[in-house]
Amino acid sequence: MTSILDYINENVDIALKDLIRAAEIAAQIGTEDEKNPTKFITSAEQILEVKRDAKISEKALELCNEADSIEGVEDILRDAKAEASSSNRVSQSALKEFKQNINRILGGHNISVVAQDMDLNVTQSAFNDIDPITKRKIEHPVVNKICGHIYDKASVLEAISLNKRMRCPVIGCGNNKHVAKSHIVDDPAQIQKIRLSQQETMDITL
């Protein structure tokens, strides 16, 4: 009997292949906007995130079934986090391969700075709730619209006020511009992810 995760994996692979075929069509007859690789890369990232979340959820359910007491909850959370880290590495590899194929098909047409930095940023894009400045959990996520990296709003605004020449604190970031308040915008998608993550943690604890 096919599991839900197997079903999702199969359909994720199909969806990625369909994106590649769509890019091939766009390269031949598409408009300038339709040939933009960033749209295809963003779609692939969202698809791979579904696969990653499904794998983590299945692992969490498996661990919950094995737990025989409330004391086992901390072990469940620790193992689930380790599973998330492993899944992020798999998603990074798959996304990198997809990006290479898209660039080959579309010839690197009109790639944004965010897309160029995606290889370095993919783990964070896949939802890293640790602020790169304070190394604490992000409470109010904001995104640097120049490079796409995510910070906690309070910490980045304080850092900017203390150092007007501060650059993105994420190691390996290719953004050489000084971080300015005008570069920082709210990230509703990440806010929603944090709320869901907090709710899942509460549900498991309860």
pLDDT in tens, 36-56: 888 888 888 888 888 877 776
136 vs 129, residue with greater confidence:
136
Residue-number span of the structural domain to which 163 is assigned: 127-206
pLDDT digits (tens, 9 = 90+) for 151-198: 999 999 999 999 999 999 887 677 888 999 999 998 777 777 777 766
Maximum pairwise Cα distance, the chain: 60
Q: Check whether residue 140 and residue 198 sit in a common domain.
A: yes
Q: Check whether residue 100 and residue 139 sit in a common domain.
A: no
Q: Is residue 119 part of a domain?
A: no
Which residue in the block uniquely carries the two structure tokens 């598409």?
30
DSSP three-state, residue 143: strand
- When pLDDT is averaged across residues 108-133 and rounded to a whole number, the result is 53
Q: Which of 29-38, 138-147, 150-159 has the highest mean pLDDT?
A: 150-159
How many domains, in total, are found in the chain?
A: 2
Query: In the sheet where 150-152 sits, what is the strand order?
Result: 150-152, 141-144, 184-186
Structural element, H or E, at residue 23: helix 4-29
Q: Check whether residue 20 and residue 90 sit in a common domain.
A: yes
For the cut 80, the answer to whether the pLDDT of residue 201 exceeds it is no
∠ CA 44-46-47, nearest 5°, is: 65
pLDDT at 122: 41
Cα(144)–Cα(175) distance, integer angstroms: 10
The strand pairing partners of 140, in sequence order, are none
Q: Check whether residue 88 and residue 40 sit in a common domain.
A: yes
Q: Is residue 120 part of a domain?
A: no
Q: Is residue 187 part of a domain?
A: yes
171: exposed, middle or buried (C-beta count within 10 Å: 0-12, 13-18, 19+)? exposed
pLDDT digits (tens, 9 = 90+) for 51-95: 877 776 776 666 666 656 555 656 665 665 555 555 555 567 788
Cα(112)–Cα(177) distance, integer angstroms: 15
Q: Is residue 122 part of a domain?
A: no
Q: Is residue 145 part of a domain?
A: yes
pLDDT at 96: 83
**150 is written with which tokens?**
């995510």
175 and 144 in contact (C-beta within 8 Å)?
A: yes
Which residue in the block uniquely carries the two structure tokens 């979340």?
53
Q: Check whether residue 24 and residue 108 sit in a common domain.
A: yes
62 vs 124, residue with greater confidence:
62
For the cut 90, the answer to whether the pLDDT of residue 4 exceeds it is no
pLDDT at 123: 40
Q: Check whether residue 105 and residue 199 sit in a common domain.
A: no
166 and 197 in contact (C-beta within 8 Å)?
A: no
Q: Check whether residue 92 and residue 136 sit in a common domain.
A: no
The strand pairing partners of 41, in sequence order, are none
DSSP three-state, residue 2: coil
Q: Check whether residue 135 and residue 197 sit in a common domain.
A: yes
Q: Check whether residue 136 and residue 180 sit in a common domain.
A: yes
CATH number for 159 = 3.30.40.10
